Amino acid sequence: MKSKVIAAVTNLVICAVIVVTALVGFYGGSAAAVADADNVYYGSQSEDEVCLMFNVYQNTGCVRDIVELLETYEAKATFFMGGCWADDNTDCVREVYAAGHEIASHGYFHKDHSKLGYEANLSEISTSVRLLEALCGADVRLFAPPSGAFGEYTVSACSKLGLDLVMWSKDTIDWRDSDPDVIFSRATDGLEGGDFILMHPTEGTVKALPRILGYIRNAGLTCTTVSHALGE
């Protein structure tokens, strides 16, 4: 009888270990398990400010067009720049920063950070941060993962580097859909203070941006940088 009890307890322990291991394996590198980490943001608490996020890996001409439009509407934005693009477009990076916008990291190459280990995440992010800081002479405080893909190692790497990981509350999907009307609708439908609006430097976005900025202004909202909205 005693041996049967011991065997039963042993089996329960083994089952528990298997379940825990499976859960760790499933959630360990997934965004779902770390979405509520202290340094992960999908928006801000601001009631009268919104943030325009531009993820940049290409289309330098569109980046410059966007900066001109933002100046016309007296709006500020955060540009999350890929390191390999920034390395080839140093003048443009400096122009964006000189115009009063925030420069942030989008990694060095456009990698899936949810599939990278801790050291790979750390290297990919820190390399881009060092480059951007050297170009602008200012601290980089934010990282936006390419395609929104991240895991616990990404969050840990950001914490190590003193960065907040930034996602979005509204996605224009302008990298895929070029219709300015569609981009406008996705940016403004149900818009409220605290929203982070994700965009990219595309021709469709350049065409939609004046309407978006006008809508935001008419709604009594202000476009500010992500760090400002987060109170940093």
Q: Give the integer Cα–Cα distance in Å for 45 and 120.
A: 32
**How many CB atoms are closer than 10 A to CB 27?**
14
54 and 30, same structural domain? Answer: no
186 and 87, same structural domain? Answer: yes
**How many CB atoms are closer than 10 A to CB 155?**
24
Sequence-separated (6 or more) residues with CB below 8 Å from residue 119 = none
107: CATH:
3.20.20.370
Number of domains the chain is built from: 2
Q: Give the integer Cα–Cα distance in Å for 147 and 167.
A: 10
pLDDT (average), residues 205-230: 98
At residue 18, the pLDDT reads: 38
45 and 16, same structural domain? Answer: no
Q: Which of 84, 197, 63 is nearest to 131 (CA)?
A: 84
Residue 30, domain extent: 1-34
Residue 196's DSSP bridge partners are: 51
Find out whether 180 and 207 touch, Cβ atoms under 8 Å: yes
23 and 59, same structural domain? Answer: no
The token pair at 224 is 């500010």
146 and 49, same structural domain? Answer: yes
78 and 3, same structural domain? Answer: no
Residue 52's DSSP bridge partners are: 197
40 and 17, same structural domain? Answer: no
Eight-class DSSP state of 172: -
114 and 137, same structural domain? Answer: yes
At residue 25, the pLDDT reads: 39
Q: What is the dihedral of CA 184, 104, 203, 198, to 10 degrees?
A: -20
Computed over every residue of the chain, the mean pLDDT equals: 89
Task: With cut-offs at 50, 70 and 90, classify the pLDDT of residue 28.
Answer: very low
Encoded amino acid at 32, one letter: A
pLDDT for 148-195, tens place per residue? Answer: 999 999 999 999 999 999 999 999 999 999 999 999 999 999 999 999
23 and 95, same structural domain? Answer: no
216 and 125, same structural domain? Answer: yes
pLDDT for 86-134, tens place per residue? Answer: 999 999 999 999 999 999 999 999 999 999 999 999 999 999 999 999 9
85 and 2, same structural domain? Answer: no
Does residue 44 or residue 34 have the better pLDDT?
Answer: 44
Q: What is the pTM of this model?
A: 0.85
Indicate the SS3 state at residue 180. Answer: helix
Least confident of 10-24, 33-47, 159-173: 10-24
187 and 134, same structural domain? Answer: yes
Angle between the N-to-C axes of helices 60-72 and 203-218, in degrees from 0 to 180, rounded to the nearest 10: 20
At residue 37, the pLDDT reads: 78
The gap between the terminal CA atoms of the chain, to the nearest Å, is 65
Percentage of residues in the chain having pLDDT higher than 70: 84
Indicate the SS3 state at residue 79. Answer: strand
